[in-house]
Amino acid sequence: MTNSNLQLRQSSSSKHKAHGQAAAPVLKILTSLTLLAGLAGCSSATTGILADDQKILDGCPKGQQLASIIEIDGTSSGRSTTSDTERLSIVQEITTRTVICGGHLTISAFSSSSGSTSTIFDGDVSVAGETDIAKLRRVPDAVDQVMTEVKANYGKSLAELPEDGSDIIGIYRVAAEQKLQLGDHYKMAETILTDGEQNVGGINLDTDVLTKDTAVELARSIPMPQLPDVDITVAGIGRVAGDPLPSSKIEALIDFYDALCAQTGASSCLSVTDWK
């Protein structure tokens, strides 16, 4: 009986020992599975980014390089910490597309006249690669390099601008000059980030009496440069610092910029409050 009990205790002890010996391999397996799951998550995220970038690449201009021009309204009426963050996010998105397609990127801030501008970034951007995948894998680093320079220059560039008004219409004339300089081998995309409240040059949109009809009539009366084969986006319309504008005023401003763009003969026109 004693021997039997002893044998039972020994067997039980042996089982505990064996269980303890198996714990380390089990822990290693669990750790490996955790690492593999983490790597799978990173791989999925990377694959998703590459898929998005491939779609951008597929939509790049055929037979042309992309020239992305971003003009940022530096006047205080449309500036806030929130709007600056949103604008930099838009800049990054446009930068990504330009890097993927390859071409030229110009980012400037403006205020009261076409002469009152400050350059934030101006240069050729692209990535090289023997295959699309090899090329796209280099995109994030290239975009990060551009955005580092943009963020370093953003605040001081806007601080250099006079605060005496906003000449948004003048930017279209600047765009016409840029198109002439770039030539036909570039497909130009012009993006103007502004609250839309033009208030210099005898044109004052900073008024609550603006209506859809008066806005369109005014836009059609303004001589505009011709910008054929240019995609024009005006974003941020009505997004002012402080009290929000009435919805009727925002709608009138959008109608104004749609009609203004139509005057230029641009290949596409988009006037919006929120980024597409």
Mean local confidence (pLDDT), 5-12: 34
Give the pLDDT confidence score for residue 201 in this predicted structure: 85
The percentage of the chain sitting over the pLDDT mark of 70, rounded to a whole number, equals: 82
Residues 6+ away with beta carbon under 8 Å from 172 = 224, 225, 227, 260, 264
Q: How confident is the model at residue 2 (pLDDT cuts 50, 70, 90)?
A: very low
State pLDDT tens for residues 27-54.
Answer: 455 544 444 445 444 455 567 788 999 9
Q: Are strands 103-110 and 117-125 parallel, antiparallel or unpaired?
A: antiparallel
- The structure tokens listed for 138 are 């280099």
| Confidence band of 12 (pLDDT split at 50, 70, 90) | very low
- In the chain, domain spans: 1-58, 60-272
In 3D space, the residue among 179, 194, 199, 187 whose CA is nearest the CA of residue 234 turns out to be 194
What interhelical angle do 247-264 and 212-220 show, nearest 10?
Answer: 20
Write out pLDDT tens, residues 108-122: 999 987 667 899 999
Report the chain's mean pLDDT, rounded to a whole number. Answer: 85
pLDDT band at 254 (very low <50, low <70, confident <90, very high): very high
pLDDT at 144: 98
How confident is residue 206, by pLDDT bands cut at 50, 70 and 90?
confident
pLDDT of residue 25: 55
Q: What percent of the chain has pLDDT over 90?
A: 67
pTM for the complete prediction?
A: 0.82
At 81 the pLDDT is 84
Residue 44: the pLDDT is 57
- Using the Cα atoms of residue 82, residue 83, residue 84 and residue 89 in order, give the sign of their dihedral: positive
pLDDT in tens, 58-100: 999 999 999 999 999 998 776 778 889 999 999 999 999 999 9
pLDDT digits (tens, 9 = 90+) for 147-195: 999 999 999 999 888 877 899 999 999 999 999 999 999 999 999 999 9
Pick the CATH number of 60-272 from 3.40.630, 3.30.1050, 1.10.720, 3.40.50: 3.40.50
